[in-house]
Structure formats: structure tokens, C-alpha cells
Structure 1
Amino acid sequence: MKEKKEKELPFKVPEFDEEEFKKTESTKAFATLVVTAIAILMAVVSTFIWKSLQVDYMSHAWPISFCVGMVGLVLIPLFFKLLRIDFTKIGKSTWFFSAFSYFFLLLAFFVIFLNPPFSDATAPHVELTTLPNVQEPGGNVKIVVKVEDNVGIDPKSFLGEVIKKTDREQSNHPISIDSIPIQDKSIKDNVIEFAYDFNPGHNANSGIKEDYLLKVKIRDVNGHFTETVVNFSYSNEAINLLKPVPSNSNLTKSETVMVELSENIPVIKNEITGEIISPIVYLKANDKTTRLIPKESGLYVSSTQVWPQGDVKVKVFAEVFSDEDGKYKNKIVDSTTYSFKVE
């Protein structure tokens, strides 16, 4: 059987039109530049609209402004015609790529223009801490103020005051940054931090309960104001000796100690580990000071023998902290001194 030899057809390399290729790629590149320019232009327009709306309609300003920017999709073919870009050389895939690119370019430039150094619509962030937020008469309340801003803070705009809340009137105590010693404050362009000791001058033995407001107002260099208010109080129930019962004057050396802090005094929680950092509570019996053990019930008890023999003068006090690092701390000292006879 004879094998049939198939005739092999010669392969022809298609002709490459170099000039046509260059024109097509140049057209696509120019179209991309036009899309980028329109995206930047509409991002500027959207930013201007956002600035006009955000004062009164902050929750709706961003989506409204971005939707206005998307109108640029309609402008793309108009600009292509105006600039005589040959549509036949672009193709459907390039049209899709142009729309896709425009969306993300608009989003990117809009976000850039919304932030410094182009824009600033964010008021300073103020953190106020009162140590403690319930204090015994005669003690200081350490006021910790921390202000942060993304651009810069105007220290001269700081207005702080402690307001005593009463039935008939309000008496206030102004706080001035200038009155705080240099070593107790840190003033930088973007952060202000300082601590201030407030004491209304109560008699340590006065059985009072008074409520106060701490009010702070400050602005950044672009005129955005923040006003923050926190409450604190003075009460002779901030820290109490529950056991031994104060009315029982005769004790044995094995007598249990139990101290209670006001429930309004917060504990610190480590956000990463979840560890609870409680105030540290002490009992001082004459010259002997014992650290008490915190319980889940919120009470503090002794784990060792704390009582010296004979006549004993007792004070209980606690240390409270602003954070887990203990950068700022203060004491709550029971305004009552207890007397016992230990056998």
C-alpha cells in the first residue's frame, strides 16, 4: 500500500504594521492620561462639595460627594470626542478598563484630598481621666488631660474648668495650662498632655457628698473645636472598712480585714490580654502597712496577720492608676481613722 504524502502548506507570517501598532498604543496611553486627569478634576470637585456639606450633614457628605465624582464617567466619552481620540483604535476591553481605572483613581485621589495637608475636618481628640473619679474629703483629684490632633493644636485656645454642681448655683474653678509647671506637661504640635491636682479644700473629717463636672474645650490650628465633659465626686464612702466592724473596739490578732471601694471607681482592663488591673488597697495599723488581696466580689481582704498588739490606729487607702503602665496615679485615703484594742 502506497503511502500518500500530504502536501505541506508553507506557513505565512502575518504582516506586522509597525506604524499602526504605534498609533494604537499611543491612543490607549493618551486615553489613560485623559481618564486620570478627569479623575483628579472630579476628585477636587467632590472634595469641595464634601467641605460644603460636612458641617451640617457629616453622615451623608462622603457618599453624596463621591456620587458626584462618578459623574465623570459620563465625561470620559465627551472628552475623547473633544480631543479627537479615535474610538475604533480603543476597543471594548479598553473602554471597560478606562471605567474601572476611573473608579479607583477617583476613590484614591478623593481620599488623598480629604486628608492633610489638603483638608482637615477632624476636631481634636480629647481624653479626660480623673484619678480617682470618687475621692474622699481632703484628698486631691488628679486630672489628666490628653489632646491629639492630626494637624496641630492651638494651646492658647484651651479652656478648662471644674464645676461644682449644686441645687441653686454652679461655682467653677478655671484650669489654665500656663499655671501648670513645665515638668508636669508636654506640649507638642499634635499632642498636649498634662496632669493637674484639684482640691476644693474640704475638711478631711467632713461627711460630704459633692458632684463635680470637668469641662475641657480646645481647638486645632484650623479652628475645629472639641468640648469634652466628665463627672467626678467627693464622698466619704469612696473607701470603707467593713471588717472589723468599726464599732467593735476589741479585736483578736486573727481578726479578718475586709475593705470596700466605691463601685464607681473603675478597674483597668488590658485590651490585648484581657487582664484586669485593680486598684491596690492597703491597711495601715500603727506603723505596719499590709497590702490587701482583691477578690472577685470586688472586696479586698487580708491574707496574713496584720494586727499588732495593744492600742491600734487604723487607716485604709488605695492607689489608682490611669493605665496599666501606671504613668499617672493617685491615692484614696479614708477620711476616717479607726481605733481598736488588739488582745
Structure 2
Amino acid sequence: NWFVTYAVYFFTWLLIFIVIVNPPFYDDEPPLVEVVALPGVQEPGGNITIVAKITDNKGINTNDISMVITDPDGNTTSLEPDVFEFDNTIVKYVFQNPDDILDEFQYELTVKDVSGIETKKSGIFSYDEYAIEVASYRFENLTHNDDIEIDVDEDVSTENFRVYYTLNNGEEINVNRKNPQIKDEYETSPVYEGWVEDADFTMNAYVEVMHYFTNIPKKYNNTIQDSETYNFTTTEDSKIGDDLPPVEYNWTISKQPDNVLNYKLPFYRFVQVPGFEAIIVIAALAIVVLIFKRKKKDEKK
């Protein structure tokens, strides 16, 4: 009987202690903040999307979220909560650069939870006229196998990004890398659908940067548009426009089409977090129940 009494006492207090030191009763952890600037390098005329995933065991005080942006000249802009977009654990702000200031900007995001515990996260982004550049050894009388190179500043994103272009404001045409392992050099040619022989074209080049936060199946993205347009003409060549343009790698199927891009883009990731505290609580409850059952059984005897 003494063992049963002390066992019940021990596991009851163990259960109480586990509950008290875990949410929502106890809080000594700062908010967990993951923030990204999309893109990391933008062309003049474009914007920067700063998006953050914020989690906390007791909750976030949205009135205590702020950001300071410092431009290349050292001028600061303080942003209050009313300029942010909120969507559950996601906070987003779109930075405009109406004066087309070039060079590096800094930002610092400050977040407080309902207990007043603070987290600060900082980062950089920049504006550059040469974030995207299109090069070709000739722009007139192109044949199906004349290469057109698109160079992209790899700092536009720490992740892979999609490079594409349009012809005469038509459909998007994705571009492969020259080398699948090198993320700043891309190459295309008039062999792809969208091009036709003996015609004039105006090309606009773009980059789509994207990011997925862990366990959130939503793509956050932004686009860079080359501030320069490019004019091409094609010659008479029946092979111009013969091939299907490259398509994105499809993470949901095993067999990919032959014209898949030679690099993979970011995709949604699900990570299951082990509930160690929940396992301990369940085990403690089970032991307490078993002890009580045994005690009642002994009393009947």
C-alpha cells in the first residue's frame, strides 16, 4: 500500500509539473522568426516582398511588430504594425522604391510575444540595373540553333529560381541552365515554340523567386523584370519553333517529361515535430490509471 500511495503521489505531481512548464502556463522562449526578402536583388522599377513566419508558444502581439529599413545613404524608415499584412503565422510587407535608389538596403524586423519577450531578425536586399542581362552574339537573322544567354545575379535568392522570357508579350518560355549546377547562367534559342521563322520579336526577360516555409503549403514569390527590352529577328529556318519549351520539375509525379527543366525549384516541405511532452503526459496518465486499478483490486481482496 505504501508503494501505491507514493507512486500515485509521484506521477500526479509529475503530470502537474509537465503541464505547468509547457504552454500555455509557462513562457520563457522568444518568438521563432524565419524571414526572407524576395528577391534579394531587384531591378529598378520592381518591389521587394519581405515575408516572415512567426511562431510562439503563447502567441504574438501583432501591435508589437515593427520594422526599420535603412537605405544605402543611411536614411531610415520605421514601419508600424498597420502597414503589414497578417495571415495566421505569416507577416508580409511590400517595399516600394519609387526613387529607384540603387545599392544595398538593410532591414530589421522586431517581434514581441504576448509576454513581452522579443526577437529581432535582420537582412539585406539590393537594387541593381544588371540583376538580369541578355546576351547574344547576334540579334538579327537568328537560326534555330543560335544561342541566347541570360545571366542572372545569383544573389537574387539563396534558393533556386525560375528564369523565363516572353516574346511580343506572349506566353512564358522557361530557360534551362547552361550548366545544371551553376545558377547564374541560362541559355535558350529560337528552336522553342513561341519563335517563328522570318519574324520580328521583342523579348522581355524575367526571374521568379520563391520560398516555402516549412509545413505551410503556400508559395511566396516575387518577380524581377529586366528593365531593358531586346529586339530579335529570325531568318527562314523550318526548325525554328519546333521544340516544346522546358517545364518545371513536378514533385508530385515520379516520371518527368522529356522537356523538364535541368534544375529543380523549391517545393512545399512537411516536417513532423515529435510531441515528446505529449508522450510523457500520456505515459504518466496510463501509469496513474493502472496504479488506481491495482489499488481497487487489492481493496476488493
* Same fold flag (TM > 0.5): yes
CA deviation string 1:284-328 (max 9, x = no partner):
232444423333033333263454544433221122222295532
Q: Within 1, Cα distance between the matches of 2:139 and 2:3? A: 96
Q: What is the 5 A alignment of 1:308-319?
A: 308=196, 309-319=198-208
Q: Residue 166 of structure 2: SS of its match in structure 1?
A: strand
Q: Within 1, Cα distance between the matches of 2:126 and 2:133? A: 16
Matched, 1:211 2:100: no
Shift, 1:113, TM fit: 3.2
Structure 1 pair 30–339 and aligned structure 2 pair: CA distance change class (3 A)? closer
Give the aligned length: 224
Q: Within 2, Cα distance between the matches of 1:173 and 1:135? A: 19
Matched, 1:331 2:223: yes
Structure 1 pair 118–301 and aligned structure 2 pair: CA distance change class (3 A)? same
Residue of structure 2 in register with 1:199 after alignment: 96
Residue of structure 2 in register with 1:225 after alignment: 118
CA deviation string 1:35-92 (max 9, x = no partner):
568xx4xxxxxxxxxxxxxxxxxxxxxxxxxxxxxxxxxxxxxxxxxxxxxxxxxxxx
Q: Select the structure with the greater relative contact order (CA < 8 A; seq sep ≥ 6).
A: 2
Structure 1 pair 111–240 and aligned structure 2 pair: CA distance change class (3 A)? farther
Matched, 1:301 2:187: yes
Structure 1 pair 288–33 and aligned structure 2 pair: CA distance change class (3 A)? closer
Structure 1 pair 110–142 and aligned structure 2 pair: CA distance change class (3 A)? same
What's the TM-score once normalised by structure 2's chain length? 0.64
CA deviation string 1:157-192 (max 9, x = no partner):
1111221133xxx11233333134xxx5325xxx3x
Structure 1 pair 326–234 and aligned structure 2 pair: CA distance change class (3 A)? farther
**RMSD between superposed Cα atoms in Å:** 2.8
**Which of the two has higher C-alpha Rg?**
1
Shift, 1:155, TM fit: 1.1
Shift, 1:28, TM fit: 3.3
Structure 1 pair 118–185 and aligned structure 2 pair: CA distance change class (3 A)? closer
Structure 1 pair 279–28 and aligned structure 2 pair: CA distance change class (3 A)? closer
Structure 2 letter corresponding to 1:28: F
Residue of structure 1 in register with 2:151 after alignment: 260
What's the TM-score once normalised by structure 1's chain length? 0.57
User: Any conservation in 2 of the 1:292–1:300 contact (CA below 8 Å)?
Assistant: no
Residue of structure 2 in register with 1:340 after alignment: 232
Shift, 1:249, TM fit: 4.1
Q: Residue 97 of structure 2: SS of its match in structure 1?
A: coil
User: Any conservation in 1 of the 2:67–2:108 contact (CA below 8 Å)?
Assistant: yes
Q: Within 1, Cα distance between the matches of 2:5 and 2:114? A: 42
